[in-house]
Chain A
Amino acid sequence: MSDTIPTFERKEEDLPAIKLTIFQYAIVGVMLVLIFGLWRLQVVGAENYRALAQANRVRKVPILAARGQLFDRDGRLLVDNYPSVSCFLVREQGHNFRPDLPLIARGLHMTVEQIDTILRKYRTAPKYQPLPLKEDITPDEQEFIAAHADEMPELETIDEQRRLYPKDGFAANLIGYVGEVSAEMLNDPRYAFYEPGDVVGQSGVEETYDAILRGQDGSHDVLVDSHGREVGTLGTERSIPGKSLRLTIDMDIQRAAENAMGDRDGGLIAIDPHTGEVLAMVSRPTFDPNQFAVRIDREDWDKLLNNPDHPLLNKAIQAMSPPGSTFKIIMTLAGLQEGVAQTFKVDCQGGATIYGHFYACDRHHGEVDIHTALPYSCDTYYYELAARLGIDTIAKYAHEVGLGQKTGIDLPDEISGVMPSPEWAMKNFHRKWYAGETVSVGIGQGAVAVTPVQLARAIGGIASGGIFKRPHVVFPDELPRDYRQAILDSFPGSGDVTIPIDPANWEIITDDMANVTQSPIGTAYAARLDNIDFAGKTGTAEVVSHSFGALKLSSNVSERANAWFVGVAPRRDPDIVVAVLWQHGGWGNGSAPIAAKVIQAFVDKQRRLNHNLLAEAPKTVDVGAVWSDPEHPDAYAGKPLVKHKDKDETLASARAGHFLLKVPPVEASASVSNDR
């Protein structure tokens, strides 16, 4: 073999030394590049990379902020929070939690499919975001998580504050409920700063005032390794609880309204017309928002969604119906303001033939004028008045009082109702206006449709002499300035307006309304309230279209007419206006007692507040100069010191010291209207 491998002597010409030198320089070059690379990372970029290393191993465990509480106008607690523990799944890189799923499911009393559903739902969420596995876990589930903390670092518990709502759906549709922010909401620019998994207000006050009620979540910074195992703690950023809100709702009035409404379908709203403050708001059927405080079952949710009576709708602002005869107040206003109704008289013989068509009235009222038409609720009178005024005039006044527009109440998804007119018919149906439609609109039938809140604002405004206020459920003065404006911008509507109503006309309208309940001829005389200046108007709105005169109390509930009542107390410059819509309630006078109960509760409370001085902090009276003892008039001198003006009664006898004088209760005056 050795002959095939010649051994070479070292020869410079064969291998120039320069080649090895080139190698040396190449090595020096490589080393310099590597050292430069190290310099760049370790000396120049050290701070940056140290921060990245820190971020790598610090995980933020959120500390959820408690939502603000809700109080009624007197500061009584309506909505509170309670502490609760939730279980989250942390999917950090490294640890594979898949094999643990059956055990996790068993420990949390769930099925693997349920967990898979959650994982699928969040498959696009970033890895660092913990997934909510189960909320409001039981102590034994907490025990399970704590016991398996080492093998299953992916399970994390978080302390939360959960919503505690009043029982039995008390004011539920007004308050609303909270729930996890949905995918659609996240696409909405309003929710730009929300993250998946955040709990937000989903309806009612909870939704409108979410930004105020929600606090700012804090975080607990823990050190973890790449498997997400906790290896230490860094610090805690406290959460900032949400601000509490005082609602304009009066719990006493609300309770009375809830009770009065019972389980009748429909909506009720009570407003202070001086300010637009909503005192009570009821919707039926309702729901239990506590079901939403913990994640709601799909079954329960479907039940709520598919209920034909729509328990999730707030019918005080989201249900509309023809106003029926309650519209006659607006007709009366239009007729008087136009100078027509003052002298307008009809002879009601059970109906009228107008434009060649017979329109029925439910009775033979005989001669009817503007003072009896409203208490009688005589259809004949208003058919003729409508034909006389014409649709344009009627629509003008209806629009002025806010019909066909949202009121701008600070609650989500208010509907605007419908006030038909020739323009409306052309715009929406591309058809002409039929003269007969004007006659129907005259008694609040046909296409005209209103919501309880619209009707309350309109009638409250008319009774207030033309001063209309935007209804609202939170005191604007108690909101941050920019939020106050944002609310106005977000909920456009008819708002605050004043329309000039001739005082003489105002007097006629309000007296007419008073006669509805206070005169034996009135349709709601049965609902009259002793010693209370209660005025209003009934309304019966046909649900199924049928020929006029065919109103009947159908045995089929869904075909029954909607019963309206709108009432005020006192009749002029009222302190309260109540609108009630009882869906499928039959005759309008069925709703009148409901409104009457609310007004009774309101007046009773006002009287209690105004007159029962003992309810206030007792005032001390300085009698230091006189020796007297009110408890024992005869104890000392036995001589009467002061003679009460009216009553033959000794006030006190002399005794040393300071003490309280008893102030006898003042008797309640007859009517609330006399108090103001």
Chain B
Amino acid sequence: MRHRFLSFRDFDWTLLGFVVALSVISVFEIYSATLHTKFVGFYKQQILWLLGGLVAMFILSMIDYHRLLDIIHWIYGFCVLSLVAVLAVGTKILGARRWIKLPGGIHFQPSEWVKLVLILAITRYFVGLMGRKLTWPDIFKAMALVGIPMLLVLKQPDLGTALTYSPILLAGLFLGGIDWKKAGILVCAGLVLVGIAFSSSKILKPYQKARLTSFMNPGSDPRGSGYQILQSKIAVGDGGVFGRGATKGTQTQGDFLPIPYTDFIFAAFAEEHGFIGAVIVLLIYFLILMRLIQNAQTAADLPGTFLVMGVVAVLIFQIAVNVGMVIGLMPVTGIPLPLMSYGGSSVLFTFLALGMVMNVRMNRFVN
């Protein structure tokens, strides 16, 4: 065991600054988007979650990530069990069984946290294989590691969250040293699998398929499945260069934009703050991601790099899919925009992930 010396002087205050900036923007946009709805006041709840997230982040940043990696197989086992529990005894909200009701009336959604656990599990798995070429059994084991919780979440059904597990596996395979040939075979197999999933009625629910087909041709049914994407594009386009101004977006305020405080918050923001505002938000995301990669580069050891890059992979995937959806480049999948969308589980995951990154950074000069 080495002696580890941690100091908040090494805490990534720059990164935190960007994160807080986005969080503040998020609170204002949630305020604006819910102003004329029955959800008015959600921004206060979001502030509480953000504060809770900050505390959780600081706490996790104090815990050595090696300790977490030591016990990850237990945590992983517990997570799979909790996902099974959700399917068995979970609360059904809006036709999906995603939540476990805890004492005190809090609904807990384990699938968000599984992301964090998977980042740790994949890190430990690939770091253990480091130094040799990946064989097919290595790859299949990694796929099973991610695939089991993924299928359980898909079963809830929660396609969006299940999809966010895939970048963890991909980043692991990429960093773990998969060769080009195997990567090519995997890509082809993946495409075939998607095709099968799409044609089979067992794997994708009809509404999920409808979302995907309406994405291909949103004009086909402007009041049905394509409605959300169309309304979102109208909202974004309506913003123009300078935006309609805070609380003045007609699509957002007129309730045409679906759920403008969660999945479509970026559309609401883009309508009210225009191209300039939207690009500034993307720029902040870019800076956060670049800062994270810098932390990965300067990590003291391979597990640190792996952990940070796992977080990067999840974040960029969610940003790309969510913003892509909002501007009509991606289908509706129900993936929230990290640090912007309203929702406690999402906020807590993001801040815990950042807490882990902070810990990696604070460990960077440790030998």
B124 vs chain A, min Cβ distance (A): 7
Residue A26 at the chain B interface, CB threshold 8 Å: yes
Q: Which residues of B contact A41 (CB under 8 A)?
A: 233, 236-237, 270, 327-328
B: interface residue count bin: 35 or more
- B296 close to A225 (CB less than 8 A): no
User: Given A37-B327, A38-B275, A39-B275, are A2 and B70 neighbors across the interface (CB < 8 Å)?
Assistant: yes
Q: Which residues of A contact B234 (CB under 8 A)?
A: 49, 52-53, 56
Q: Which of B6-14, B91-99, B107-115, B248-256 contacts A (4 or more CB under 8 A)?
A: B248-256
Please, which residues of chain B bring their CB within 8 A of the CB of A231?
254
A306 in the interface, Cβ–Cβ < 8 Å?
A: no
Q: Does A8 lie at the interface of the complex (its beta carbon under 8 Å from any beta carbon of B)?
A: yes
Distance (Å) between the CB of B259 and the closest chain A CB? 12
Residues in A neighbouring B48, C-beta threshold 8 A = none
| Complex Cα spacing A488 to B286, Å | 75
Q: Nearest residue in B to A9 (C-beta to C-beta)?
A: B301
Cβ-based interface call for A43 (8 A) = yes
Determine whether the beta carbon of B282 is less than 8 Å from that of A42.
no
A53 touches B71 (CB 8 A): no
Which A residue's beta carbon lies closest to that of B306? A15
CA distance A224 to B124 in the complex (A): 56
Segment at the A interface, from B80-88, B315-323, B343-351: B315-323
Cα distance A43–B237 in the bound complex, in angstroms: 8
Q: Is B146 an interface residue (CB 8 A)?
A: no
Instruction: Point out the residue from B255, B299, B324 that lies within 8 Å of A226, measured CB to CB.
Output: B255
Choose from A1, A23, A31, A57 the contact partner of B256 (Cβ within 8 Å): A57
Q: Nearest Cβ in chain B — how far from A633, in angstroms?
A: 87
- Contact bitstring B112-133, A, C-beta under 8 A = 1, else 0: 0000000000001001101100
**Residue A30 is within 8 A (CB to CB) of chain B in the complex:** yes
Taking A27-B290, A41-B236, A41-B237 as contacts, is the C-beta distance between A57 and B66 under 8 angstroms? no
B147 part of interface (Cβ distance < 8 Å)? no
Please determine whether A38 and B223 come into contact, CB atoms closer than 8 angstroms: no
In contact, B282 and A49 (Cβ under 8 angstroms)? no
CB B205 to nearest CB in A, in angstroms, measures 23
- Tell me whether A94 and B255 are in contact (CB under 8 A): yes
Check: A666 CB closer than 8 A to any chain B CB. no
**Residue A37 contacts which of B239, B253, B329 (CB distance < 8 angstroms)?**
B329
Question: Across the interface, do B237 and A50 meet the contact criterion of CB distance under 8 Å?
Answer: yes
Let me know if B282 and A7 touch, CB within 8 A. no
With A2-B1, A34-B320, A94-B255 in contact, do A7 and B301 touch (Cβ < 8 Å)? Answer: yes
Is A120 among interface residues, defined by CB-CB distance under 8 A? no
Q: Which of B288-333 contact A (CB under 8 A)?
A: 289-290, 293, 296-297, 299-303, 305, 309, 312, 316, 319-320, 323-324, 327-329
Asked whether any CB of chain A lies closer than 8 Å to the CB of B241, the reply is: yes
Is B226 at the interface (CB under 8 A from chain A)? no
A57 with B236: in contact, given A37-B324, A38-B275, A93-B223 (CB under 8 Å)?
A: no
Q: A33-B329, A34-B329 are in contact. List 13 more A-B contacts (CB 8 A).
A: A4-B70, A10-B299, A15-B305, A27-B290, A37-B329, A41-B237, A41-B328, A42-B239, A46-B238, A49-B233, A50-B240, A53-B256, A56-B251
Q: Which 3 A-B pairs have the closest CB atoms?
A: A49-B237, A37-B327, A53-B238
Q: Give the B-binding residues of A (Cβ under 8 A).
A: 1-2, 4-11, 14-15, 17, 19-20, 23-24, 26-28, 30-31, 33-35, 37-43, 45-46, 48-50, 52-54, 56-57, 93-94, 127, 224-227, 231
Identify 29 residue pairs between A and B in the complex whose beta-carbon atoms are under 8 Å apart, listed by A's number. A2-B70, A4-B70, A5-B69, A7-B2, A7-B66, A8-B127, A8-B303, A27-B312, A30-B316, A33-B324, A34-B319, A37-B329, A40-B327, A42-B241, A42-B274, A42-B278, A43-B240, A43-B241, A46-B240, A46-B241, A49-B236, A53-B234, A53-B238, A54-B250, A56-B250, A57-B256, A93-B223, A127-B223, A225-B255
